[in-house]
Amino acid sequence: MATETLPLFVNDNSLGYNALGNSGLFVSKLCLGTMTFGGDKDIWGLIGNLQQEQADELMKIALEAGINFIDTANIYGVGASERIVGQSLKNLGVRREDVVLATKVLGPMGDGPNARGASRGHIMSECKASLARLQTDYIDLYQIHGFDPATPIEETLEALNTLVQQGHVRYVGLSNWAAWQVMKAIGITRARNLCPIISLQAYYTLVGRDLERDIVPMLESENVGLMVWSPLAGGYLSGKYEGPDVSEENRRAKFDFPPVNRERGRDVIKVMREIADGKQIDGEPVTVAQIALAWLLHQNVVTSIIVGAKRPEQLKANIRAAQIRLSGDELNALDEVSRLPEEYPGWMMKMMAGYRDTAKE
């Protein structure tokens, strides 16, 4: 969960830092995502194929803006993203203690049945490989990239705890797990006195508010931090897909992910355009994409937003979104147009909670 912003430790910037979940680890409110690094003629190439020099430029922009949080995964570019990130930190002369490095494990890194998943063997071997690619002796945040139905949760959590005890990993998190799965994991760590789960990386946007049904209440209850991936819904919230200047010559034309209900999305983007109209940052007009990021930064449950880019100007525009302050009326308008339809048991719980409201009178 987000906490009050502390005074900045080194740089004077507009981003600020939040504690990541129930920990003493402070991360910038924007996190540099590196899924665009190192792609080839595969699915990762459709997302991005930035090489070392281009990645160095983006890393430099992010670090100079005050971003201290960098997220990657072993599967991105099948190891290429981690290698580029590690080399970039060396090229830029960054002190290891000045950045928070996060990476993930789960996806297939080979052809065999044991070269994937969240088994003890795969986690231990892949952590070693990630450390080598990143050119570091510890990972700040090691995350399980998704739920592995073939491996007992206990085995996964015990393996993560071993890595923490060995000093190879400092904190552990999850990604793309359901609320009941995260809660089960939390219960196991408490019962067995294992290292705690401090974060969840999940999808959350104005056109994808599904996690508000169960995941957000769980995160708030258990003080687990939220890292948001794909905050622009795979580019949909750039506004390029709706309106008079629609263009399909972009990433979603080839890689339509994450799924978006475009009928509802049109109405959301219309309101976003109205809010952006007339606003400026540093003399530049505010974009629909920046409104999407600003809305997330106004959500108390959000700890850090993962922003990626292919071009320097994209990253700079994303960073400027941290300066946008939305009014109460603007937030209400965005909430109204993007609100989830009510489902059971949510509407029943709200009604039954009214008994307590009456009791307080």
pLDDT tens for 212-232 read 999 999 999 999 999 999 999
pLDDT of residue 253: 59
Residue 3 maps to a domain: no
Q: Domain with 223 in it: what CATH number?
A: 3.20.20.100
Dist CA 302 CA 317 (whole Å)? 20
Residue 10 maps to a domain: no
Q: Residues 103, 82: contact at Cβ < 8 Å?
A: yes
Task: Indicate if the alpha-carbon torsion angle 178, 179, 182, 185 is positive or negative.
Answer: negative
Q: How far is CA 210 from the centre of its chain?
A: 15
**Which pair of structure tokens corresponds to residue 354?**
């009214």
Mean pLDDT of the region 72-82: 96
Q: Is the pLDDT of residue 8 over 70?
A: no
Q: Is the pLDDT of residue 195 over 70?
A: yes
Q: Is the pLDDT of residue 248 over 60?
A: no
Chain segment 92-118, per-residue pLDDT in tens: 999 999 999 999 999 999 999 999 999
Mean pLDDT of the region 324-346: 96
Residue 6 maps to a domain: no
Dist CA 319 CA 305 (whole Å)? 11
Mean pLDDT of the region 319-337: 97
The residue range of the domain holding 201 is: 19-354
pLDDT of residue 251: 52
pLDDT of residue 250: 57
Residue 4 maps to a domain: no
pLDDT of residue 39: 83
pLDDT band at 335, cuts 50/70/90?
Answer: very high
**pTM (2 d.p.):** 0.92
Q: What are phi and psi for residue 114, nearest 5 degrees?
A: -100, 5
pLDDT band at 282, cuts 50/70/90?
Answer: confident
Q: Is the pLDDT of residue 163 over 50?
A: yes
Burial class (CB in 10 A: 0-12, 13-18, 19+), 146: middle
pLDDT band at 9, cuts 50/70/90?
Answer: very low
Residue 13 maps to a domain: no
Residue 361 maps to a domain: no
**Position 61, amino acid:** I
Mean pLDDT of the region 78-99: 97
pLDDT of residue 359: 54
Residue 181 maps to a domain: yes
Mean pLDDT of the region 258-276: 94
Q: Residues 308, 48: contact at Cβ < 8 Å?
A: yes
Number of Cβ atoms within 10 Å of the Cβ of 186? 18
Nearest to 5 by CA among 15, 18, 14: 18
pLDDT of residue 41: 72
pLDDT band at 182, cuts 50/70/90?
Answer: very high
- Is 76 a residue of the active site? yes
The total number of structural domains in the chain stands at 1
Residue 266 maps to a domain: yes
Which of the following is catalytic: 76, 142, 203, 236? Answer: 76
CA separation, residue 344 to residues 217, 229, 297, 305, 337 (Å):
15, 27, 28, 29, 21
223 dihedral zone (left: phi>0; alpha: psi -120 to 50; beta):
left
